[in-house]
Amino acid sequence: MSTIAQNVARVRQQIREAALAAGRDPEEILLCAATKMNDAAAVRAAIAAGVDCCGENRVQELVQKAGEDAYRGAPVHFIGHLQTNKVRQVVGKVDLIQSADRRNLLEALEKEAARQGIVQAVLLEVNIGGEASKSGFSVPELWEELEEFGKYPHLRARGLMAIPPVSTYPGENLQFFSEMSQLFVDISGKKYDNVSMAQLSMGMSGDFPDAIACGSTMVRVGTAIFGPRDYHSV
Ligand SMILES: *Cc1c(COP(=O)(O)O)cnc(C)c1O
């Protein structure tokens, strides 16, 4: 078994344990491989090992790996910060844009999806830690956007995504995960045009068991599958 396959099996097992400990069905949690800075061969190995989807951060990497047919057999998501001048390279090319993080991006996505005559699924990214350095809707902005989502007929909001602050001790982000989960439940109980709360995407290598304990339906895992990223080689 390849290292990547072993890692995926281990992460699956940890997902399983976290779900069962929380009284949840492990099957309802999707494993998204965060593939940034990993090449097509690594992506293929993760798909062969059974990840549910791949998440790319950078448009350039998405385009390159898609050109190499790296994602065959698995849905591909965009999970990084997306500049409005690059929406053409992403809309209609990915199954889900997890990082719809601001109004002008939603407007650009709507325009491009309309131009292509398609409907694009997105998640609304929430800046749950209120960090100045991070993008994402604040909670009040999120409610405002939901009220107005009818003006995006070519988009469907399928849920929420969050990247909480980098934690310095285990369990530090439980509070943010719980807040996200409460938001997800509150929004699910209301009706908005073009909105359905199917996925709550939260949890990364360092904290996905906590995210699952709080109700995450999709974890985005990079390092625990592919090993540490080498930022010096790029
Ligand atoms: C890189 C990345 C991840 C995965 O991070 P790891 O700590 O390597 O698991 C998850 N989500 C997003 C948006 C990322 O950019």
Report the 10 Å Cβ neighbour count for 168: 6
Return the closest-CA partner of residue 160 out of 223, 214, 83, 225: 214
Report pLDDT digits (tens) over 95-122.
Answer: 999 999 999 999 999 999 999 999 999 9
Q: Decide: 77 in ligand 1 pocket, CB within 6 A.
A: no
Looking from the CA of residue 99, the nearest atom of ligand 1 is 13
Q: Residue 184 above 80 pLDDT?
A: yes
Is the distance from CB of 93 to CB of 120 less than 8 angstroms? no
Q: Decide: 49 in ligand 1 pocket, CB within 6 A.
A: no
Q: Residue 19 above 80 pLDDT?
A: yes
Q: Decide: 205 in ligand 1 pocket, CB within 6 A.
A: yes
Mean pLDDT of 16-36: 98
Burial-class residue 69 by CB neighbours within 10 Å (0-12, 13-18, 19+).
Answer: exposed
Looking from the CA of residue 36, the nearest atom of ligand 1 is 1
Instruction: Write the residue with the smallest CA distance to atom 10 of ligand 1.
Output: 220
Q: Decide: 227 in ligand 1 pocket, CB within 6 A.
A: no
Q: Decide: 223 in ligand 1 pocket, CB within 6 A.
A: yes
Return the closest-CA partner of residue 46 out of 29, 61, 32, 66: 32
- φ, ψ of residue 200 in degrees (nearest 5): -120, 100
Question: Ligand 1 center to residue 210 CA distance, Å?
Answer: 15
pTM: 0.97
Looking from the CA of residue 225, the nearest atom of ligand 1 is 9
Is the distance from CB of 221 to CB of 36 less than 8 angstroms? no
pLDDT bucket at 66, cuts 50 / 70 / 90:
very high
Among 54, 135, 204, say which to mutate for ligand 1: greatest number of ligand atoms within 8 Å of CB.
204
Question: Ligand 1 center to residue 11 CA distance, Å?
Answer: 14
Q: Residue 1 above 90 pLDDT?
A: no
pLDDT bucket at 170, cuts 50 / 70 / 90:
confident
